[in-house]
Structure 1
């Protein structure tokens, strides 16, 4: 068994240009696992904090209504959509809370990883658009800069982890992909990885 990290060459076409570089498979695997665990923690912590905000006796004390009604800038081109969401807290709140918990667990254990990464990216895109302080003419400023905030970073990170199939690295998806069901139904691989 070699103790040297194995190197590979990535060759792809990106934006009409050929891209080629060497990378270490070992360090790529460690970095994907680390990023997967960190993103799992982000979602799991956020969901559990919301779930337990009112204490054990009142698990749904957290509400998105205050944020949706008061924190979205009027200049945000989607402010009307978020105000509309505020009318459906009985649906939105559990989707956010339990969505974050389930996404966090799926990322942590590498189960249905691509589906969880997609759902997390969708949630992050909603948080990102909610943070817009203005529209296109204002450059979509957000609280901590123009265009880029942590939600956008998380969204892109989840896209990358899903593209690489990070759920296969010490994850349940590796075993699931070997099952007869997945072999007989190749479409199921879109949810795994």
Structure 2
């Protein structure tokens, strides 16, 4: 016996919107599906969050990991910052002392890398302070991108640069409001009055 299932045609239709924007001085208009763009942006945020979290937590759990090894052995003399006005910026980060404090740059940069990657990843996964986290994640990836020069098999773009652009999109679209904590923070009775009183705080959310 066959069971017939009736699905209304309207249930199969995706809600579409039209976006009007100006790009490089030209008017641009296109349609998009609200449903699918929601899924795609949520997926992008979660995938980038996991990528950052995994990269960070593996460094946190490895007591022998240090940024000093990367700065010393992974960056060649051909890198533009290896001879900037007569200074090797990477060598200073690897072996230089911070203003006579007895603390070396690599001792500061190591936990910043470990915790930075981990916390950015957790924030993206949870959808909390997404724009703030995306900014710092993009800044970290910019340094990794600069350290990778000269790029193998590419003139300008590698995966670090791609990550920077993806994080820009994550922040620009306010993906923290898609099943994320930012949507709760913006409307919570405790935090909402502060966000209304100090609108600049909204720059950290979304």
TM-score, normalised on structure 1? 0.89
CA distance in 2, matches of 1:65, 1:144: 26
Choose 1 or 2 for highest CA Rg: 2
Q: Is the 8 A contact 1:177 1:183 kept in 2?
A: no
- For 1:171, the equivalent position in structure 2 comes to 180
- For 2:80, the equivalent position in structure 1 comes to 77
Q: Is the 8 A contact 1:176 1:182 kept in 2?
A: no
In structure 2, runs of 5+ residues without a counterpart are 1-9, 83-87, 96-104
CA distance in 2, matches of 1:144, 1:99: 29
CA distance in 1, matches of 2:153, 2:160: 11
- For 1:183, the equivalent position in structure 2 comes to 196
Q: Secondary structure at the match of 2:157?
A: coil
Q: Which moved more, 1:107-116 or 1:74-83?
A: 74-83
Candidates 81, 86, 90, aligned match of 2:94? 86
* 1:3, distance to aligned residue in structure 2 (A): 5.0
- For 2:147, the equivalent position in structure 1 comes to 130
* 1:73, distance to aligned residue in structure 2 (A): 2.0
1:8 aligns with 2:17: yes
CA distance in 2, matches of 1:143, 1:36: 28
In structure 1, runs of 5+ residues without a counterpart are 55-60, 134-141
Structure-to-structure mapping, 1:11-26, within 5 angstroms: 11-26=20-35
Structure-to-structure mapping, 1:39-188, within 5 angstroms: 39-54=48-63, 61-79=64-82, 80-87=88-95, 88-133=105-150, 142-178=151-187, 179-188=192-201
* 1:143, distance to aligned residue in structure 2 (A): 2.6
CA distance in 1, matches of 2:169, 2:124: 13
CA distance in 2, matches of 1:148, 1:52: 30
Large movers: runs of 4+ above 4 Å: none
TM-score, normalised on structure 2? 0.83
* 1:2, distance to aligned residue in structure 2 (A): 5.3
CA distance in 2, matches of 1:43, 1:185: 30
Q: What's the RMSD between the two structures over aligned residues?
A: 1.3
* 1:145, distance to aligned residue in structure 2 (A): 1.8
